[in-house]
Chains A and B, each alone.
Chain A
């Protein structure tokens, strides 16, 4: 009983809005009245629904609406709102043909949305990978710049080493010539002094370029800068100390150009005997 009373008001509420808002409902009521007048003949009622002039107009409207989606659909999609309204009207009129067309149109819109969503993801992915590629290229370029600077500095240093190493034999020649020549007369001394001036100029030029001399006599033997050609006993130096420089060694700033050729002390005679 309680359920029955609750259903009653709901049913009446449902009927009122539809009857107030839709003309087709009025037509339905007319049909119902007609049926009521002739309850014994239900079939004529259906026939009368199709025959009145009022029914012909809705058919024309439906046909016209049917054409619009087809034409518009070839170029673009009709508004969803119009499709929904058209579907509603066609359904209430029982127009199956239009219903099918509208259904296909709505389905096409949904497919189109899916396609666009895929394209959106595709472009987003491409942009992301593009950004990554740009960052990578930028990093590569930066690394290449730094590497180039290092290579340039190293190349410059290598060239300097190469040129200076080529000129070191001049120093050797001067040293050798100085030892061999012993000026005796005043004129000879003058000639020798002239060439010593040139030698001094050569040494100063090398020094200006960063060339230094490897320390030898009196220093502990260091295999990284010294090259021992003999070991001899010495009363003057302890064992392991450089006692004589055979050929001068040079370094260019931090790099060794040429090791010094030296003789190393084995210590005094007594120590040598004991060892």
Chain B
């Protein structure tokens, strides 16, 4: 953490430099004013006479002031060197970094002058400024810690909502496909009873004269048109007679022994079933064989031939027979 911060220090310019640069200059001006006071003090000292004991004490104070002046001169001689060093440092570092060393250097120089002049108020002011730099640094560190937590929370929220968005998109696409089949299926289911009645009419109506046959045929052609329309929409018949019973497609309402079909094979359809794609619109109502099935090997071949040649006719014959029974 500290290493990263220091690395960043080398790269990022200090934005607070312009603000802090002004204060040291103001303090320099103040220090210049305070420098004049010692001169006046020196002029005041010659007035007392040197022969009195108390006056000899005054001489000691004069020497003390002289000592301070010598120290100040030494500092003054060092100042140019420090400034030169600062300038060379400025040449080496980035332009924005120039002000930083000078701010601290200027502040510390002001501090030295304050110490020389025994200006405790000024020294305390400068110390307070330096301490405020540290306080501000610590304050910012605490704020950054708090912001890091908030930043993590922020990123988590964005990640979550982005994930929600993606999931919603995918779910929407899937739902769209399913919905198309569902809506279509529901609509078509509404019309199946019409189809049932057409089938029922075909089976129940018995024509005797040409006139009757003509009328019946003209309406049955509408039934064929209806079936073609459903096929174009993707509707398919559920296969029944001759197929194994499948509870996913068929609804068994009767079981009957049969010498024609094996056990479990459908031997008669009572109501058509329909499916749309993978969706079952309506199961077919059927009668299932209870066996034993064909035993005569000779009969097998004719049965197969009959089924392959004209399965509908076979159904028609069976249905007609059934209806004839009802008629009688």
B22 in contact (CB, < 8 A): no
What's the count of A-B pairs with C-beta under 8 Å? Answer: 262
Q: Give a binary string over B162-203; 1 marks a CB under 8 Å from any A CB, 0 the rest.
A: 101100110010011001100110011011011001100100
Tell me the bound Cα distance from A151 to B175 in angstroms: 12
Q: B218 contacts the other chain (Cβ, under 8 Å)?
A: yes
B226 CB to nearest A CB, Å? 6
Instruction: State A98–B30 Cα separation when bound (angstroms).
Output: 27
A93 to chain B, nearest CB (A): 11
* Pairwise interchain contact A201-B208, C-beta atoms closer than 8 A: no
Contact A163 B184 (CB under 8 A): yes
Please tell me if B314 contacts chain A, counting CB pairs below 8 Å: no
Please determine whether B16 and A113 come into contact, CB atoms closer than 8 angstroms. yes
A88 interface neighbour in B44, B115, B141, B164, Cβ under 8 Å: B115
Q: Which one of A113, A119, A181 contacts B218 once the chains associate, using CB atoms below 8 Å?
A: A181
Q: Is A254 an interface residue (CB 8 A)?
A: no
> Is the CB of B308 closer than 8 A to any CB of chain A?
no
Asked if A28 meets B64 with Cβ closer than 8 Å, knowing A141-B165, A191-B212, the reply is: yes
Q: Given A75-B2, A106-B108, are A115 and B14 neighbors across the interface (CB < 8 Å)?
A: yes
Contact partner of B164 (CB less than 8 A), chosen from A3, A32, A75, A141, is A141
A113 pairs with B60, CB closer than 8 A? no
When distances are taken between beta carbons in the complex, the residues of chain B under 8 Å from A87 are 108, 111
Query: Which of B96-104, B245-253, B282-290, B318-326 makes up part of the contact surface?
Result: B96-104
Q: Of A10, A155, A201, which is within 8 A of B37 by CB? A: A10
A246 at the interface (CB under 8 A from B): no
Which among A192-200, A229-237, A261-269 touches the partner chain? A192-200
Contact B229 A80, beta carbon cutoff 8 Å: no
List 18 additional contacts besides A151-B176, A191-B216; criterion CB under 8 Å. A11-B44, A18-B118, A35-B63, A76-B2, A91-B115, A106-B130, A114-B12, A114-B14, A117-B16, A134-B157, A137-B161, A144-B168, A148-B172, A152-B175, A167-B191, A185-B211, A195-B201, A198-B197
Asked whether B76 is an interface residue with its Cβ less than 8 Å from the other chain, the reply is: no
Q: Mark A146-161, 1 if CB is under 8 A from B, else 0.
A: 0010011001100110
- List residues of B (3-60) whose CB comes within 8 Å of A's CBs: 5-6, 8-9, 12-17, 20, 37, 40-41, 43-44, 47, 59-60
B67 in contact (CB, < 8 A): yes
Contact pattern, A 90-105, Cβ under 8 Å of B = 1, otherwise 0: 0110101000000100
Asked whether, in the complex, the Cβ of B14 is within 8 Å of the Cβ of A118, the reply is yes
Chain A residues within 8 Å of B40, by CB:
3-4, 7
**Number of residues on chain B facing chain A (CB within 8 A):** 101
CB–CB B136/A113 < 8 A? yes
Main secondary structure of the interface of B (DSSP, over half): helix
- Report A's interface with B, CB cutoff 8 A: 3-4, 7-8, 10-11, 14-15, 17-18, 28-29, 31-33, 35-36, 75-77, 79-81, 83-84, 87-88, 91-92, 94, 96, 103, 106-107, 109-121, 123-124, 126-127, 130-131, 133-134, 137-138, 140-141, 144-145, 148, 151-152, 155-156, 159-160, 163-164, 166-167, 169-170, 173-174, 177, 180-181, 183-185, 187-188, 191-192, 194-195, 197-198, 201-202, 205, 208-209
Some 19 contacts from A to B, beta carbons below 8 A apart, are A7-B37, A14-B118, A28-B67, A33-B60, A75-B2, A106-B104, A113-B133, A115-B5, A117-B14, A118-B12, A123-B147, A130-B158, A134-B154, A148-B172, A174-B222, A180-B218, A184-B211, A188-B211, A195-B215
Q: In whole angstroms, how far apart are the Cα atoms of A33 and B216 in the complex?
A: 147
Known A4-B47, A123-B148, A209-B187: A181·B215 in contact at CB below 8 Å = yes
Distance between A193 CB and nearest chain B CB, rounded to angstroms: 11
Contacts of B154 in A (CB 8 A): 127, 130-131, 134
- A17-B118, A80-B134 known; A116 vs B140 contact (CB < 8 Å): yes
Q: A113-B133, A123-B148 are in contact. Are A177 and B162 (CB under 8 A)?
A: no
Contact B9 A115 (CB under 8 A): yes
Most B CB contacts (10 A, CB to CB) among A33, A96, A191, A208 go to A191
What residue in chain B is nearest A171 (Cβ atoms)?
A: B222
Asked if A115 and B104 make an inter-chain contact with CB atoms under 8 angstroms apart, the answer reads no
B221 → chain A, closest Cβ, in Å? Answer: 7
Q: In the assembly, what is the distance between CA of A159 and CA of B226, in Å? A: 18
Bound CA–CA A165/B218 (angstroms): 22
A114 and B100: CB pair below 8 A?
yes
Among A10, A15, A106, A156, point to the contact of B64 (Cβ < 8 A).
Answer: A15
- Most B CB atoms within 10 A — which of A14, A84, A114, A120? A114
